[in-house]
Chain A
Amino acid sequence: MKNRLVISLLAVLAIVLGFLAVILSDRNIVSPENYEAEISKVEKASNSDDLDSIEEDLDQTELDNLDIELTNIQTELN
């Protein structure tokens, strides 16, 4: 009875650790849905030549996460 309890606990622990490992290894990976949404956002812009509209699109131009996958590439190389 005691053995069964220990085995069950170990099994649960293994599942939890496996789950955590998957989450941690994927934390830098952008999901396909998010990636598509992100690219659509980059492609979405007004065609107006109104200064305020141009300014707004300039403000919304994302330049900080252009190479977010670089860490993943480095991980694969190591």
Chain B
Amino acid sequence: MQFVKLFCVVSFLFFTQAVTSNVKASEPIRENRKLEQKERISAVKREKILNFSNKMIVRLEATVERIEKLITRIETRIKKIETDSKNINVEEAKESLDSAKQKLALIKIEINTLKDDVLKMVESDSPKLVFEKVKISLDKIKEGLKEVHQLLVKIIGDIKGLRSTK
């Protein structure tokens, strides 16, 4: 009878240990699953953020390209005026155009910084902090483009004025 009792106690102990070790063994698996799930969610968000950012960057680069073409066209016009009407002084317009080109070159550098910051943002442990940098970069680009645009509008106005006064 005592042997049966002892057998039951030993069996119970074995059973308890087996269950406990099984639970412990499954814990890391569960943790891994949680991590994987977390990563999967962030990967989806990362894709979305990159998609939105790429659209924005393509739009910015297309605008820069458009302004570059406008600068080239204005440059051609100024050269023609210089050749055709030697009595018209276009020096000021040329200086303003150089200034516009320099500003545009800085904007292109800032767009590259923006691209880097976007990549840093999606990989960062604190993306919201990097997002602030992205916003600052974007503001600089937008302001710069507006300045260049205003400069070009002024140049065209000045050239028109020069031609009408001569």
Contact = CB atoms under 8 A, between A and B. Distances in A.
A68 B59 CA distance: 10
A19 B70 CA distance: 44
Contacts of B53: 69, 73
B: interface residue count bin: 35 or more
Interface in A3-37: 30, 35
Contacts of B80: 49
Contacts of A62: 63
B70 A54 contact: yes
Interface string B129-146: 001001100100110011
Given A42-B62, A72-B52, A76-B48, A58 B153 contact: yes
A72 to B, nearest CB: 5
A63 B66 contact: no
Given A51-B156, A69-B55, A77 B76 contact: no
Contact of B66 (A45, A68, A74, A76): A45
Interface string B69-102: 1100110110010000000000000000000000
